[in-house]
Amino acid sequence: MSYEAGLVPAFLIPDKPITRGDTMSRTADTWILAAQCPSRLGTVDVVTRFLKEQHCYITELNSFDDRLSGRFFIRAEFRPEVEGFGGEAFHDAFAPRAAEFAMEFELTPPGKRMGTVILVSKADHCLNDLLYRYRIGQLPLDIRAVISNHPDLESLAAWHGLPYYHCPITSETKPQQEAQVQEIIEETGAELVVLARYMQVLSPAMCERLAGRAINIHHSLLPGFKGAKPYHQAYEKGVKLVGATAHYINNDLDEGPIIAQGVEPVDHAHYPEDLVAKGRDIECLTLARAIGYHLERRVFLHAGRTVVLGN
């Protein structure tokens, strides 16, 4: 897709500002160790002592002990200070130490780009924003496909050199369409699925298959307004706050474990179109922030809720 001079969309302009709190803090040479285990004495020590023994300098350390569930969570970013450091050897050496604490852990190397598939319908604001952040390297994604139940955004994906799959859906063809979407996800090897305003309710089976690796975004208006034109409904009630929620999907519509939320004040001077515009901005920022937390292994799922470290 080409654009005439002077008509390039704003989301493609290279010098678009990035606000503080909207960026990722991780440097190019750091590894991430993320772990959780039952609460007990020595959980911090087993991680930090091992990193010291391996001559690894900790650049960021966050932990949380959930006294209600008796569960401990820890995340460490570190930089090896020895030649020949290897992730596999580190993993194998740490595993026996972790086993003593029934500790589940994950090691993420520098430069890891997560294979991702984006689902979208007709609204393009979240997709625009994600593709911009992807293009400038702000989010370390490896976007392997864009899937939509409408053909409208194919040119946008094509401009970024991304494959676009049009998978139309009706109530009668929903099982077949979801099977097609699942096949694309599996064939691309995607680890993450992003629902960037994908206006379809996923089946329980699909939600189960994507549990813990599919992030959705939706507006958050109080009181709750459902159905058509929620921002117009909000305007009629004189709403004073608009916001957005990013969460992992589950079988409860828009009620999955929450990763990030954003909110902005509004008042009587905000007409419906103003609320819609502000809502779009909050949705974009909140979704990008949630994806960033997921990519940086800051999010831990436990007992139907999330622990987000160092956000």
Instruction: Report the catalytic residues.
Output: 254
Residues in the chain, total: 311
Whether the Cβ atoms of residue 164 and residue 158 lie closer than 8 Å to each other: yes
Please give the Cα distance from 46 to 94 (Å, whole number). 9
Sequence-distant (6+) residues with CB within 8 A of 7 are none
Please give the Cα distance from 7 to 91 (Å, whole number). 51
**CA angle (38, 57, 37) in 5-degree steps:** 5
Listed residue (66, 47, 45) closest to 106, CA to CA: 47
The residue to which tokens 């799959």 are assigned: 165
